[in-house]
Amino acid sequence: MTPSTASASGSRPAVQAAASPVEPGAATGGAGTARGRLVLRRFLRNRVALAGLVVLVLLYAAAVLSPLYSPWAYDQYDYTAFLQPPSASHWFGTTQIGEDVFAQTMRGLQKSLTIGLLAAAISIVLASVVGATAGYFGGIVDRVLMWVVDLLLVLPSFLIIAVISPALRGTSWLWFVLLLAAFAWMITARILRGMTLTLREREFVKAARFMGAPSWTIIRRHILPNMASIMIIDATITVGSTILIETGLSYFGFGVQPPDVSLGTLIRDGSQSSLSTPWLFAFSGGLLVVSVLAVNFIGDGLRDALDPNARTRRREDRKAAGR
């Protein structure tokens, strides 16, 4: 979950996930497999979520494989076609200096989606480790870790990233991913800590502790599997929010740096002439909207699949709000 998103894009709606306790050994046994199949069937019945998954996979595949079928490379110039509209030779048109907009858009889409996926994966791992550790051990460990979380939550993450990112110019873009992930895990860690405080009092956790199982084994085998539902949902939502944050930073020149491109840099370059040459702006902006919507649809579908009562609660809330 993106804590910086709380300041950049508003507070995230609360996610309620029904996490039935995973008894010792069930997470890797038949019970876990049966529940996984049930969740998969529920997800596949959700047409909107399934469509979002298909769209996202197709977009990412098209972006990654674009060098194989695109007639132009993203850093290649056509000195005979400056600022040309879409045509048979340049599917999305060209820029002021003869760059192929299609090749650049596919490259930018690949970069933005990759950054979002990697940052979400890193942040959910960090949040699960910190949240489960703080909740299980308690005491001074809990106080120190939550103090760090509270400190990071009050920091203006967007501004900090904007200040640090210029120092990373000329280095690998993976440093930018780590910087985004460093401010994307705190709220999730707090949620997982609260769930761990409840789970550590369950009978199967007490039994494992009584049998002498090491604390980290209990966390890995009994605590984390019971929080897998909310971790999966949150990781999915974090992908979309991280893509938006990366786009915003790149738009202002603090994200992906030339000669590489992302959707944010393409939107920035195309917005200056969006009315006179709309192809410079429309394709990158449209793909940004479609990809983020697809990720959000997947997140909603996973929430409904993991928690069948979530859809019923939303309907009741809408009815109550309409009265």
Average pLDDT over residues 260-269: 91
Contacts of 240 (CB under 8 A, 6+ apart): 116, 292, 295, 296, 299
What are the two backbone dihedrals, phi and then psi, of residue 100, each rounded to the nearest 5 degrees? -80, 120
Q: Which of the two residues, 61 and 273, has the higher pLDDT score?
A: 61
pLDDT at 22: 47
Strand, coil or helix: what is 193? helix
**Which class would CATH give 42-318?**
mainly alpha
The count of other CB atoms within 10 Å of the CB of residue 139 is 8
Strand, coil or helix: what is 94? strand
Average pLDDT over residues 118-127: 94
Q: Is the pLDDT of residue 135 over 70?
A: yes
Residue 313's pLDDT band (boundaries 50, 70, 90)? low
pLDDT at 4: 44
Q: Which of 105-114, 165-174, 254-263 has the lowest mean pLDDT?
A: 165-174
Place of tokens 């809408």: 318
In tens, the pLDDT along 160-183 reads 888 888 888 777 888 999 999 999
pTM of the complete model beyond 0.95: no
The count of other CB atoms within 10 Å of the CB of residue 239 is 27
pLDDT at 311: 62
- Tell me the C-alpha distance between 252 and 205, whole Å: 49
Place of tokens 């897998």: 228
Average pLDDT of the chain? 85
In tens, the pLDDT along 175-217 reads 999 999 999 999 999 999 999 999 999 999 999 999 999 999 9
Q: Exposure of 92 by Cβ count < 10 A (0-12 exposed, 13-18 middle, 19+ buried)? A: buried
Place of tokens 């199967």: 204
pLDDT at 316: 57
What are the two backbone dihedrals, phi and then psi, of residue 125, each rounded to the nearest 5 degrees? -65, -45
Q: Cβ distance 301 to 46 under 8 Å?
A: yes
Average pLDDT over residues 132-154: 94
Average pLDDT over residues 219-239: 89
